């Protein structure tokens, strides 16, 4: 089982949790915690063998402690795989990478749908066999209808996480709010620099010496959601915009994959406009 929690920092939190698990015969396998001096918040992730204790019994036992400390918390069996919907547009490298990692067992998820505003033929180089594919075309006149269809599909499939794998459509404020904390975007830039379209061309024009990518949760504020993961690579004056795009694809793939895996493993906790990430 995996327990995650956050609350106002005060003495006794770790002891209360550890004592409860001990009393229920559970064995703690891994525990990570962090107290944020700036916000006064405490964050904790505990992986444990529940032994004879059932999930419902543990939840009932945790309720009084969670109430006493005003915790935001989750308790989840990692054997139960989350349903994930992947959204993509014309560029397919992030979609291809996620599907490949999923097929190899690197990402503990069930892909409940692949959705694109482009037809299936766009992804002839991606192995989408056995995966439900949905083509939801969109333009300025049909954006509201397309988002309504997308939201209906999210509800219908029971998607617990939505991944924007270079999905080049801006989600409306309303849909972003509905997906708060469960929609991950990969931005092909080292945010907060070079937001919006064509960031590699922007970077080239400025003569930057490193390029990068950022995986973050989607919010109504474009490209300003809580950051989960970032990575960079050094470049030189010899690199053209095309070279930056090629190198950037590699960064985007690995950054998005790490962010998705960490979310699936309950390693990411929201801390206002930031995140606490308990990496492995």
Tell me the C-alpha to C-alpha distance, in Å, between residue 239 and each of 34, 196, 207, 245, 250.
Answer: 41, 21, 10, 10, 15
Helix (H) or strand (E) holding 163: strand 161-164
CB 34 within 8 A of CB 267: no
CB 34 within 8 A of CB 279: no
For the chain, give the longest Cα–Cα distance: 63
> Is 223 an annotated catalytic residue?
yes
Tell me the C-alpha to C-alpha distance, in Å, between residue 63 and each of 21, 57, 74, 75.
Answer: 13, 10, 11, 11
- Cross-strand bridge partners of residue 2: 47, 76
Residue with tokens 């069930």: 110
Given the residues 223, 231, 266, 280, select the one marked as catalytic: 223
**Active site residue ranges:** 223
């Amino acid at each position: 089982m995996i327990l995650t929690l956050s609350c106002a920092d005060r003495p006794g939190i770790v002891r209360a949790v550890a004592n409860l698990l001990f009393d229920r015969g559970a064995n703690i396998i891994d525990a990570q915690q962090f107290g944020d001096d700036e916000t006064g918040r405490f964050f904790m992730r505990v992986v444990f063998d529940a032994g004879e204790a059932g999930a419902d019994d543990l939840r009932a036992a945790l309720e009084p402690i969670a109430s006493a400390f005003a915790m935001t918390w989750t308790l989840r069996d990692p054997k139960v795989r989350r349903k994930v919907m992947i959204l993509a547009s014309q560029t397919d490298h992030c979609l291809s990478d996620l599907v490949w990692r999923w097929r190899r067992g690197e990402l503990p998820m069930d892909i409940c749908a692949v959705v694109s505003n482009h037809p299936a033929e766009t992804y002839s180089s991606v192995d989408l066999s056995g995966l439900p594919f949905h083509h939801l075309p969109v333009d300025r006149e049909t954006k509201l209808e397309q988002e309504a269809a997308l939201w209906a599909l999210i509800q219908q499939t029971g998607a617990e996480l939505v991944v924007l794998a270079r999905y080049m459509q801006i989600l409306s404020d309303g849909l972003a709010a509905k997906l708060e904390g469960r929609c991950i975007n990969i931005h092909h830039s080292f945010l907060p620099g070079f937001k919006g379209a064509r960031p590699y061309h922007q970077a080239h024009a400025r003569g930057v010496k490193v390029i990068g990518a950022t995986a973050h949760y989607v919010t109504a504020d474009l490209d300003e959601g809580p950051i989960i993961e970032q990575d960079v690579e050094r470049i030189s004056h010899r690199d053209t915009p095309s070279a930056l795009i090629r190198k950037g694809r590699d960064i985007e793939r690995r950054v998005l994959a790490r962010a998705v895996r960490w979310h699936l493993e309950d390693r990411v906790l929201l801390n206002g406009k930031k995140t606490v990430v308990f990496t492995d």
